[in-house]
Every structure is written in structure tokens, then in C-alpha cells.
Structure 1
Amino acid sequence: MSIDTDTRRTPGEEAPATPAAPEGPWRRLRFWALCAAAAAVAVVALGAVAAVATHDGREARNEARGPVITERPQEAVALWREAVDAVGDVPHTVIYLHPLKPGAQPPPGLPRWPAPGEAVLSPELAEQGRQDGITDRYGRFAGTIDGSGLMAPSERFAYVRTAQAPDLGDGQPWMYVRGFGETYPMGEALYARPLSRVLLGLGVLTGVPALVLLVVAARVRTRGDGLRFPEGPWHRRVLLAVREAALPVAAGTALALLPWLAAVSTDIALPPTGYALNSADLGGAWPLAGLALLLSFALTLAVAAVAAVARSLRADGEEPVAAPLPAPVPRWRLIGCGAGVAAIAVSQYLTGDAAPAVFLGGTVVMWVMLPSVVVLAARKLGDALAARGSGAGRAGQRTAGRWTAAHPGPAVRLTTFLVVGLGLISLLQVLNGDTGDKAAAARSTEARIGQSVLSVQSREMTPAIIASFTRSLPAGSHVLALNTAAGQQESLLQGSCAALRSLRLDCPATPRTATGGDRRFWEIRNWYGPTISVQAAANGLRTDKLRGSLIVLTGSPGGRAEVERAAYALLPAVNVETFGETWLVGAATKERQNNWVLLFGSLGLALLLLAGGVSAAAEFARHYRGRLTDRHKDTHSLAFWYLTVPLVAATVLAVAVTAWHAVFFIALLQGGGFSSTALAATVGGGALVAWMVGHLSGRAATRLTS
């Protein structure tokens, strides 16, 4: 018996005399597809619960630690001051405290007030900043902050008490507080995104793919592969459909509980974000989690049952008929896709609001019309496979090619899923990666001179403090003062002759416009220019409170930690940074949003790949008609050429379209970037899914021919 190669009859339809395919492998396909879909929908539902519970817990803890500010010194229990620092490109909040009344309650998370010169850090800050000297940057390390005082276990936060009592002179930045318990924007609250945005990202990037998988799983055929609907009232069909789908849906919903139980048991960091969930927040959300599981179970079961009943009602009384050959793809759809592609390409040459409007319009048109192009490409691929199979005498390849040409649905659906899913992810990544010219300039400066030049700035910098700071630096370091007068473009750089000459500058007694200098000076001029005058400092250094800063030339590659330690020992809330570091920190904070895009998007892409695989396997089951061949080799060949090869081609095509699309978006914005790793992972994941679908479908079909 040989493989049937007639493509005029719909491959899934049997001639009246042909018996129905046996039950077995194809019924298991529906079982596991519904199980996976139920797990996906439940995980998304529990993810939404986790987002809500985490948001509420964060808000409560931030309110509990927020200072209650007062204007009446007599009722104050402490002096309070806020500053922002960074380890690498990750910022953190530093709170300076000075208790005023014995027995006053410290902020939540602290067992006691820090002693003079002590610093208490969050566990994440202490761990991640250890190599940067964070544990002794602000003073003696006195332990870590308890979780009750942190918005999240992964928050970077510090409480510091200065070695000396604060100076409360005119213009002092210290505030009087009479306790703690009011909402105050600090710590992670400064960079938090609204709950609505988190839920939107979860819903669009993960929830929608989960629903796609649910619809695909529900549409897997039941008639002819294990489920028989008796004739009778519709409610009997519904009960039978519910009974058939209940077990896989319940199993999938139960599987979704495993990650939730793990997150309730311990604080889990979410890769690649590094954000750690607070297990106590999730542990207190059991009622909402239970409701979410019930709703996801009911939704999945309802969709599966309705799809099965609707298909059985449509099938009643149908007689197998010869299906005409598929209609050709309308030319206007191909022209429309080409117009969308042209609009995307042309948009980068436009200006104003027209450019993004044309780009987005072209994107929508391309996405809508792309399936027609894929249909045409799949038919060409199928014809080529059929021709090669016929020429080589390979029945499996020949039939697979004809099936692909007649019914290119698997490749079309997977390509469409991935192009839209990958497209959304890459566009969001490009938007978040567009950090501006200042950040780009700061990166260039860092690449050229590293941390060999630091800026140290504080409004409380006095000549005496500058002198003490200079003496505390390690040998080989130099300190200069850089001031810019109000309304002037030219800055004045002053320092000792040794400091100026280390930059290869002259040492004039009166201000003189600098010429020459080494690459460090050129970077100073780039950030503080356009022109800089230099002068030898005869009577010590001083800086303007608003427009002045110290320039420190570090004497060793690891000198930054020593500079920071010396600066913080003399002044709280001092800024020690490389040129443009503020822009780098801001850009990195924005770019880290891409980690959430990758988290939600990667889950969504995995679900889309799974949906494409299930759809392809179901299509194969529908086309495969019982004992088409006695040769197992031909059966495996049929599955390989009809499933594995087109699915791999569809994945590669989707990734290529996405990469091309993202490159033009980068050109439009003139900045940003996307993750090539994500694209490569998609190709690898698509190839793995394609191989598994082809292999397992071939094995299932072989069992039917045994």
C-alpha cells in the first residue's frame, strides 16, 4: 500500500467506504494541547495576581518607611536627608539619619538606629556593590536592612549616619521628622511603573499568546480521533465535551500551581530582570490566586467544550466531497504587502510626524498582508518538494510537498504568529534602547578614559573640606577646581602646577585659554567647554556652590573606590561620578525595561511556537488517513517534509522579517537596539519545536500503520 497523493480531495476527508482512523495518538495530541493551554492561561492569571499583590505590598512598605516631616523641631525625633548614588549603572537611594530623641523608633527594617559613622545596606546593595567598595563607602558596615523596610528583596537602599552631627546652618538640606508612616517617593518608587502598565505588558506579550494557544488547542479535532458525539439535544453534547476536556484542563491548571508554590515558599528573582518577588506578598494573596485559578479553569474548559460542540454540529450530516484546488492568492494582497514594505523603507527619509505615521501604517499593512505572501511562498516550497520527491522516488517527500502546496496553513500560521509577536518585542526594545545623544557621548567618554577622571560636587564644599579631601586621597591623585561663572561659556580650571602639568597643560599665574592637553583634558573640555581657561591655584581650591565641582585625576585603575570613601567621609550626599554618568544611569534604567519585555515576550514567543507546533500536528493528523503506507520510512519522511521543514522555514522567515523591520525602526529613531540573542533563541526554539512535532507525529502515524 502506498501513500495517497490525490490532492483534489481534501486530505482530511475520507471516501465513504474508508473506515475512520483509529483512536490513540491523535487523541493524546488534543489532551496535551489542552493541558498546555490550560497551564498557560492559568500562569498568566496567576502572574496578574502576583503583580497586584506585589504592587500592594510595595506600596504598603514604602508608606511605612516614609518620613513624616514636621516644621516644629521640638516634636522631631530625627533629622532626615535623602540622596541618590549608584553602583555601576544601577542607582540606589541613600537616607541619612540622625536621631534626636532617645528611645525613638527607627524606620522599619532597622533593629536600631545606626551609630555615628555606620551604614546599614539592603542585602542586594551589599552583595552587588561589594567589589565597588560599597560596604565601606559611607562608613562602617553595620549589617543589612530587614525585608520589612524594603519595597522588594532586590531593592538597593541604604541608611547612613554621619560621623559628625549635622550642621544646621542656613540653607541646610536636613529635614525634621516626627516619625515614619507617610508615602514618600524614594528607592524603587522613583523608578516604578504603574500597575496598569505591568498588567498591559503581561496581557499583550504573554496573555494574548496564551489565548492563541488555547484557541489552537481547542480546535484540535475530536471527531475521528477518540470523541464520538451522539445525536440528540445540544446539552448532551455539551456535557460530553466538558467531560472530555475536564481532565486535561484540570491537569494543566494544577501544573500552573507549581511556580506559584515555589514563589510563595521563598523570594524568587525573575530572570532576566533580577527583580525578586516578596514571598510574603504572594502568600497573602491566596484567595485572589484561588479565584484566578477557578476563572482560568472555567475559561479554558468553556472554550474547549464550545469548540468541540460547534465542530460536531457542523459535521452532522456532512458527506465527504471533493474539494476544489485552493484558490490563487489575490494579486492585490501581494501588492498591498509590497506597499507596506515600501512605506517602512521610505519612512526613515521623512521628517516630522509623517515619519512615524508612515512607518506604523506600513507595519500594520505588512502584518495584515504578510500571510498571503507566506501562502505563495509555501506553495512554491511545496511544489519544489513534490518535484524533488518525484524525481528521487521518495513517496513521503512527494506527498508532503503536495500537501504543503494544497494546505500551507501550518507554515502560514506560525509565520504570522512569530512576525507579530517578535515585531512587538523588537519595537519595544528599540524604543527603550533609544537613550539619547548625551548617554551615547557618556559611553564614548567612558570608553576613551574609563574612570581615570572623576567629578566631585557638593553645595557644602568649603576650602577647608577640599583641603582635607585632597590630603586623604592616595598618592598619585590630583585635584583641580572647575568653575563656570553665571552667563559665561568659558570655564576656569585651577589647580597646582603638578596637577595641571599631569594633563600636559601650562601653569599660568593668570587665567589663560588652554591649548593642547592630553585626552583626559579633551574630555573635560567636551563636557565643560567649549573653551576652558587654566590657572595655577595660589591660595587653595574653592568651588562655586551651584556651578563648581572638583575634578579628580585618579592615580590607579581602582582609585574610584578610594575617592568615594574619602568624599563620603567628609560630606554626606556628595556626588562622585564620571563625566555624563547621570545620563548613563538614566539610560541604563530605561534599557532595563527591556528585561521585562524579554521576560513577558519570551514566554509569549514560547507559547506561540507551541501553538504553531500544535496547529501543524493537528493539520497532519487531519490529512493523514489511517494506513496510508506499510513503510515506516515513508511515514517518517512524510512527517519530516510536511512538518519539520516548513516550520523551520517559517521560523527563519519570521526572524528575518523582524530583524529587517527593527533595523528600519532604529534608522527612523536614530537610536536604540534590539536583542539579537532573542532572535537567535527564537530560531533555535523554532527548530526544536519543528523537529519534535515532526518526530512525534511520525511516530504516532507509524503506530497506526503497525
Structure 2
Amino acid sequence: MNVGSWRLHRRLFTIGSQARRHTESGAIRAGALLLAAFMLTITLLAMTAVSLLYAGKADRALARTTAVGESDAEAGLRWALSDDMLEDSRQFGVVFIEPLTPDAPMPPGVTKWPGPGEVLMSPGLLAAGESEGIADRYGEVVGMIGESGLTDPGEKLVYVHPVGGLTIDDPLHVAGFGPNEGELYYSLDFGIDQDRPQWAFHGLIAGMLLMPSLLLLFVACRTASQQRDKRAVLVAVLGGRRMDRAAISAGDAWRPITLGSLLAVVFAVTVIATEPTIPITGYEMSFADLRSAWPLLLAVVGLAWVVAMTAAILLDRATTSGNSTRPAPSRGRSTQVLAALFPVMVLITMVGPQLFAVGTGAPRPAYILTYWAGAIGTAITMPAAIAVSTAYLGAVLARRGARRRHPGQLVAGRRISAHPGPTARMVSGVTIGLFVLMQALAWQGAFASQSVRGQALIDDIGYSTVEVDPRGDVSTDQISRFVEALPPEAQLLGLELGFEFNELVATLHGDSPALTAAGLPCGSDGNIIPVEALTPAVQAAVRGVSPVVHETPDAADHIADSDDTGMLVTLPPGEEFSIPDVKGISYQVFPLGATVEVPGMSNLSGGAPNRDQALWTVLIGVIAVGVTAVVASFATAAEYLRHGKAIAPLTSIAGDFRIFRSYAAWSIFMPIALAGAVGTIVGSWIAFSVDDVGAQLITTELVLTCIGAIAVIGALVTVVAGATAIRQAQTWVPRGD
């Protein structure tokens, strides 16, 4: 570029910057561009942060991976992994250790191993388990696990040094930790294994935040576009090239876009500096991972700025017909194309995923990606489909207005029929907001369904009967001491589960008082008890099969001698166990503690991670609905001013201002009401395949409420639009234009 061209483009850039202040709806467009740049930057930063956090968690998990030796002579630490869980929470790691030498190897986050009867606990576990007395469950807490030894700051983890040492038969012999210390054997991956895959989070952010952010950017770029398009045509007529028009467009848009990007940087820096807990989810992220990657984050900010500026430049169109200098009116071709794609996207969403279905197993990534591709495409094309439908209705409305001499209907019908693009921008926030809401509810219900069923099971069974499954080999004496530490009314049954001829067989062992406490008849040794005669708790414990009763006074001996027999402990009706207290007793008696849970909960224990992951859908869905509401607000506000200015001359023809209220009703309320109805129905239909297997949070009442709420909002917007048009008409005077 020569000096002359550079000076010309700098001048054109300045002209564009000055022209922004005098453009129709200039302040509205500037605000929209600022928010669009802000949201696009934050969204791209969020997607980058997800990758950084997953990578950081994987690195820290690898750093604490055990390197094993063949015997105690080749290692300085005995090590055994177990697990536990707080009430209504996910599993976490419980690591039993016994240092054999003063210089026993230590994983990251540990500076000194605890002595016998002492434990090291993560801050997240200590805080979350305070109500359950977690500080006293495993022994005396003598220190905290450092952040370098946790996959994230909120991870729950505990290292336990048993009083009598690690007495199990096959502990790991640990020679070191990390990939450079020897053969990798085992890693504490509870936090990672229970997380949704990284691509799922990226897809969630892309669908619920990136798409609305790009929509907001498009609406912002096309707000008050008529004058800028005319300006671009004029520049082209005067011999201006594409780069000349780009310089003017860049000058028009750079200030709000740059300010939005800077505000996003300020927001991100504030978040990283203050290290808050993520709202709704309660997640504590490792901000150190983000601070160490600041060059990449700055590059992402630059990318977002470039994308926003490029969109602002490319979406300023200089539309001409052939070699003519006469501006050609837009026929809304892009809107027509998007509208034609709408049924295609609906078909892909409803039929496409079934091509990758795998029976009753977990859906494959291709299944979910196809569903999301179709669903996102449906949300993008739905506003155009509604706009084109409204345009056809507008043509009918115009003919009806002309026939009945209703000027409001005539003008509104002709305008919405001729300009489907502005209608699509106006309703896009409504339709996409409804789509995001339905998807958030559907996925929350799907993720939380297992947890909901688990809570329903607890409500039905209660806590008067619990299953206790000691970890490792236990003796009759340990079982007896465990039962003696329980409330005096507690009775012990042995529960043996096995398979004969590929069929599940259940056997209950216990003396007469224990059988009676469990609701079983005495004197029925060797009999099979019909499952329908059992209490709900025992039904769940025997997995729904009719058990054989073995009446014996030596249930503890049978439990100790059999690997297939667990413990079923009961209290009289009306009394209940405290699960945390029973767990605490198990860790005092058994070498590795025990799993303690309501019968049947083992099949539903995976519900807590999915329920927790659903909170991310809720969080991102709430933000997305807010973004789409902003889209609708800016699009409608721009239409207020445009409509009011365009039809102000009708005052001299109509003689009064009633035409403006009628005009607003047909051009504003009708599209918004139609968008509310179609968006709610199609959005709930698209989400049905997800919601149907979940907690079914999308109900008929919810659908009707959404339609009614959008209708009310549309009525309020219509009133404001009519008042705006009247106010502009009152100040309009002929100017010869």
C-alpha cells in the first residue's frame, strides 16, 4: 500500500468514525456492537478455559500416578485405594497409606505423611463434609493436601494412615509418583472419570453461548443498516473500491467493538484475580491454569476482536444491480434460504441421531453431535422461517387492509411482506431464547433423572435398613465389634447374592430376632419367601428376587467366610440409622472401612455426577437466555425507530395517530406472538427426545406459560412501539425528502 492509499484509507476511516454519531439508531447499534464483542470474547475465552482446565486436571492426575515395585524391599510405601461419598454427593478417593521408611515417596500436594491414626484431607472435603463430621470419620486431621496434589481446588480426597498399619493382603508397593518414577500403575482419577468429556462442554458452550453471541453480532451489524447500505452504494458509485468501503465500515464500528473487547478483558482479569466459586454449580476451578496461559488468552481476545470487526465490515453491503448506479432493494434472499433449510434441520434433529443409535446403551458421540448439529441448525433457521411465514401473512393482511380501507393493516402488511429480514432479526432473540430454555430443561432433567429416582427410592425405603459392604477381608470379631457399636436395637442379617444357571439367587442368613426385625417369618429355614411379601427395603436389597431364608445364629461367621455375602443391618420400624455415623464406625473397625447405603442405591449412585453436570447446563442456559433477550431488545428497539421514522408522513394522510397503534399491533405483536407459539412448540418438540428419558421437566403447563408470557411481552413491546411511532410522527415536518 502506497502512502497515498494509506492516507486515503485513514481519512475514510475517520469519516466512518464521525458518521456513526449521526446515523439512524447509531447509539443503539453502538451498544449492540459493544455487547456483541463482549459476549463473543467471553464465550471464546470460556471455550479456551475449558481446554486449559481439562489439560491441567489431566497433568495433575498424571503427576500423582503411582509407580510400583514388586515388594516392600523395592518400595517405601504401602498404598491401597478405596472410595467414599458424602450424602447427596459424588464419590471421592480414600487412600490408605503406610510409610515403610522415613523417606517414603510422597505425591504432589503432600509434604509429610501423617502418623498412625492421622489423616491428610483436602480443603474441599473438609468444608463439604462438615455437617457429617467428616473431620472425625477416618482419624485425626493433621494437615491439608496442597493444591498441586488435587485435580482442582475443590476436589474431595483424603490420605489415611490406619492405626494398625495397612493389614490387607495385597497392597500396592509404591516406589514413587509420576511418569518419571517407574511403571505407572494407578492414578486417582475420580474427579476426571466422573466428568463429562471435554467435547461435551465445548458443544454446550457452542450451542448455548457462541450461537447467541454470533446472532447478537449479526443483529448489531445490521442494525440501522439502510443508511449504511445507501452510503456504501454511494461510495461505489463515486468509484470507491471494496477496501475503501471497508475503511469507512471499520471506522464506524471499531470504537464499540474495541470497548467491548476491553471490557471483556477487564471482566476476565477480575475473575482470575478474585478466584470466585462458579455460581449455580459451586465449582472451584484452578485459576493457576488460566494465569499460566495468559498469552493464549490474549490471542483469543484478539481473535474475537478480528471476528467482530470482520463481521461489521462484511455485513455492510453495497447492493447494486449490474452496472447500474441505482440501489437495488433487498429481496431477503438469505432469509428465504434459511427458511427453506428450517424443515431440513428439523428432519436432521428428529431422524439423524437414530442412524447412530446403539440400542439401550450410552449414546455415541456421533449420536449427540448429530442431534446438536440439527438442533442448532433448527434454532438458527427458525427465525427466518417465522419471518417468511409472517411475510406471506403480511401480503394477505395488505390485501385485507386495502379491501376494508384499514390503513394500518395495509401499511403494516406491505412492510412486513417486503422486508422479512428485519422481522427475522426481531424475533430471533425470542425463538432462540425459547430453544435454549427448552434444551436447558431437557438436559437438566436427563442428567438429574438418576438422582431423582435415587431420592424417590430413599423416600420409599427410609433409613431403618442399610447395606454394609466391608472392603477387604474382615473377621468375625470385627463384624461383632461393628454391630456392637451400632444402636442396641440393630440386628444383623447376612445377604448373599450369586448366580445359578445365569439367574440371580439371594439368600438371607440370620437368627430369629434379626429375621423378625426385617419383616421375615421365623421358623422358615430353607424356605423361599415370595418377593411381594418382603418389605420395600428387603425387596431392594435382594434385587427383586424371592430369597431363600437360612436361619442361623452365626450370621457374622458366614459373612466373614464368604466373599459373596454382605451385611444387612435393620432397626425396628420408626427408627433410622445415621449414614455418616455408620460410616464412621466402619472406618474405626474395618481395615478399609465399608460402603454404607440404603438398599438398592448402588444401582443409582452414579446419579450425583450427572446431576452436578446438569447444573452447568442450567448456568449456561441462564446466560444464553439473557443474551437472546438482549438480541430481541436491540432488534426491536431498532425497529421502533425505523418504523416510526418511515411511517411518520402518514400523519398527513390518516389525519390522526390511530394508524400507528394498528401498525404496531400487526408489525410487532403478530410476529412476536407467532414466534412465541412456534418457538415454544418446536423447541419443546426438538427437546422431547432428551426430556422423555429424563425427569420430564417440560410439561404442557410450561409450554402454555411460555406462550402466554411471550404474548404478554409482545403486547408490552407493541404499546411501546406505538408510542414511539406516535412521538416521532408528532415531531415530523415535511422536508422535501
TM-score by length of 2: 0.77
1:95-135 Cα distance to aligned partner (Å, 9 max, x none): 22222222445332234322322333323322223223333
Residue in structure 1 matched with residue 222 of structure 2 by the alignment: 219
Matches within 5 A, 1:82-481: 82-87=81-86, 88-104=88-104, 106-169=106-169, 172=170, 174-182=171-179, 184-224=187-227, 228-229=231-232, 230=235, 231-234=238-241, 235-308=243-316, 310-311=317-318, 319=326, 374-375=386-387, 378=390, 399-400=411-412, 403-404=415-416, 407=419, 409=421, 412=424, 426=438, 430=442, 442=454, 444-458=456-470, 459-481=472-494
What is the aligned-residue RMSD (CA, Å)?
4.9
Offset of 1:298 from its aligned partner? 1.3
Q: Is the 8 A contact 2:393 2:417 kept in 1?
A: yes
Offset of 1:34 from its aligned partner? 1.4
Percent identity of the aligned residues? 23
Distance 2:713 2:674 in 1: 13
Is it true that 1:585 corresponds to 2:592 in the alignment?
Answer: no
Offset of 1:471 from its aligned partner? 0.7
Q: Is the 8 A contact 1:334 1:369 kept in 2?
A: yes
1:533-584 Cα distance to aligned partner (Å, 9 max, x none): 2413247443254321000125643522221111111221521122232332
Q: Is the 8 A contact 2:254 2:309 kept in 1?
A: yes
Distance 1:644 1:476 in 2: 69
Q: Is the 8 A contact 2:496 2:566 kept in 1?
A: yes
Q: Is the 8 A contact 1:605 1:682 kept in 2?
A: no
Distance 1:152 1:438 in 2: 25
Distance 1:292 1:265 in 2: 19
Is it true that 1:499 corresponds to 2:514 in the alignment?
Answer: yes
Is it true that 1:52 corresponds to 2:51 in the alignment?
Answer: yes
Give the letter for the 1:49 counterpart. T
1:673–1:25: structure 2 CA closer, same or farther, 3 Å change rule?
A: same
1:141-169 Cα distance to aligned partner (Å, 9 max, x none): 34543322211122222222222211153
Give the letter for the 1:588 counterpart. A
1:158–1:538: structure 2 CA closer, same or farther, 3 Å change rule?
A: closer
1:156-199 Cα distance to aligned partner (Å, 9 max, x none): 22222222211153xx2x21112222472523122234434433
Offset of 1:366 from its aligned partner? 7.9
Q: Is the 8 A contact 1:341 1:366 kept in 2?
A: no
Which of these residues, 566, 570, 580, is aligned with residue 553 of structure 1?
570
Residue in structure 2 matched with residue 611 of structure 1 by the alignment: 631
Offset of 1:52 from its aligned partner? 2.5
1:660–1:100: structure 2 CA closer, same or farther, 3 Å change rule?
A: same
1:68–1:563: structure 2 CA closer, same or farther, 3 Å change rule?
A: same
1:497–1:638: structure 2 CA closer, same or farther, 3 Å change rule?
A: same
Residue in structure 2 matched with residue 511 of structure 1 by the alignment: 526
Q: Is the 8 A contact 1:400 1:641 kept in 2?
A: yes
Residue in structure 2 matched with residue 595 of structure 1 by the alignment: 615
Give the SS at the match of 2:67.
strand
1:409-455 Cα distance to aligned partner (Å, 9 max, x none): 55555666766776587568757855899988755532311232211
Offset of 1:373 from its aligned partner? 6.4
Give the SS at the match of 1:542.
helix
Residue in structure 1 matched with residue 31 of structure 2 by the alignment: 32
Distance 2:377 2:206 in 1: 23
Residue in structure 2 matched with residue 482 of structure 1 by the alignment: 495
1:290-335 Cα distance to aligned partner (Å, 9 max, x none): 1111111112112101222x33667996657899999xx99x9799
Which structure ranks higher in relative contact order (CA pairs < 8 Å, sequence separation ≥ 6)?
A: 1
1:631-666 Cα distance to aligned partner (Å, 9 max, x none): 888767755763356325413431232224434655
TM-score by length of 1: 0.80
Distance 2:149 2:120 in 1: 12
Residue in structure 2 matched with residue 654 of structure 1 by the alignment: 679
Q: Is the 8 A contact 1:454 1:576 kept in 2?
A: yes
Give the letter for the 1:249 counterpart. I
Q: Is the 8 A contact 1:89 1:588 kept in 2?
A: yes
1:553–1:219: structure 2 CA closer, same or farther, 3 Å change rule?
A: same
Matches within 5 A, 1:534-573: 534-538=550-554, 540-543=556-559, 545-554=562-571, 556-571=575-590, 572-573=592-593
Count the aligned residue pairs. 675
Unpaired runs of at least 5, structure 2 = 1-18, 732-737
Give the SS at the match of 1:527.
coil
Q: Is the 8 A contact 1:507 1:536 kept in 2?
A: no
Q: Is the 8 A contact 1:22 1:225 kept in 2?
A: no
Distance 1:316 1:116 in 2: 90
1:430–1:467: structure 2 CA closer, same or farther, 3 Å change rule?
A: same
1:139–1:660: structure 2 CA closer, same or farther, 3 Å change rule?
A: same
1:455-484 Cα distance to aligned partner (Å, 9 max, x none): 111341221111111111123222211123
Residue in structure 2 matched with residue 529 of structure 1 by the alignment: 545
Q: Is the 8 A contact 1:31 1:248 kept in 2?
A: yes
1:381–1:602: structure 2 CA closer, same or farther, 3 Å change rule?
A: farther
